[in-house]
Amino acid sequence: MTTHHGDQGETSLFDGSRVEKVDARIEALGAVDELNSWLGFAAAQPDVAGVGDQLRWVQERLLEVGADLANPGGRARSTSLAPGSLHTLDAWLAEYRDALPPLRHFILPGGHPLAAALQVARSVCRRAERGVWRVVTDPAPDGSPVFLNRLSDVLFEMARAANAAAGTEDPQWRGRTDV
């Protein structure tokens, strides 16, 4: 059953307030939702790097980010990222960077399908981060925009790990070749 409540270009937040669907908060929510969908797509790829559980964990945290965005000022319910979420991402980032060779060139998105999907998710994550920064009024040092910033770094290294595990080289950019 449909409510038809959004047919006039507005939508509801958790507290029942109505905002335009083109509101910056709704744009940020949409980008976080799109990111979560891309992570679901990545998780549907052959898991050559054993990242499935990490992707599921991230998807659950992104629902917390979305709930926080839909609840400005915590008016309707208490929502925020689980304590320690940023620490988890930092630990993963250190593990990936320790296990992978240092970058010597810029890399292009691609390689194994899992890596390519993770690179798309990374770029959507950057957009979601920009959108969240547009609407945060009291950024906590471990809040949503910082989480998204760190997550994009993790997704980049996760993509590199997927290529390495699949025995696929990261596509390297070496500058223009037509000069």
Report the SS3 class of residue 12: strand
Cα 43 from Cα 53, distance rounded (Å):
9
Whether the Cβ atoms of residue 80 and residue 68 lie closer than 8 Å to each other: yes
Indicate the pTM of the whole model.
0.90
Report the SS3 class of residue 107: strand
- Residue position matching structure tokens 């998204």: 148
The helix or strand, by DSSP H or E, that contains position 115, with its residue range, turns out to be helix 113-135
Taking Cα atoms as reference points, which of 57, 64, 32, 29 lies closest to residue 158? 57
Query: Is pLDDT at 2 greater than 90 in this prediction?
Result: no
pLDDT at residue number 55: 98
pLDDT tier, 179 (very low <50, low <70, confident <90, very high otherwise): low
Quick one: DSSP state of residue 20?
A: E
Cα 55 from Cα 15, distance rounded (Å):
30
Quick one: DSSP state of residue 73?
A: G
Q: Tens digits of per-residue pLDDT, 98-157?
A: 999 999 899 999 999 999 999 999 999 999 999 999 998 766 656 899 999 999 999 999
Cα 45 from Cα 48, distance rounded (Å):
9
Q: Tens digits of per-residue pLDDT, 131-144?
A: 999 998 766 656 89
CA geometry: angle 166, 121, 45, nearest 5 deg:
40
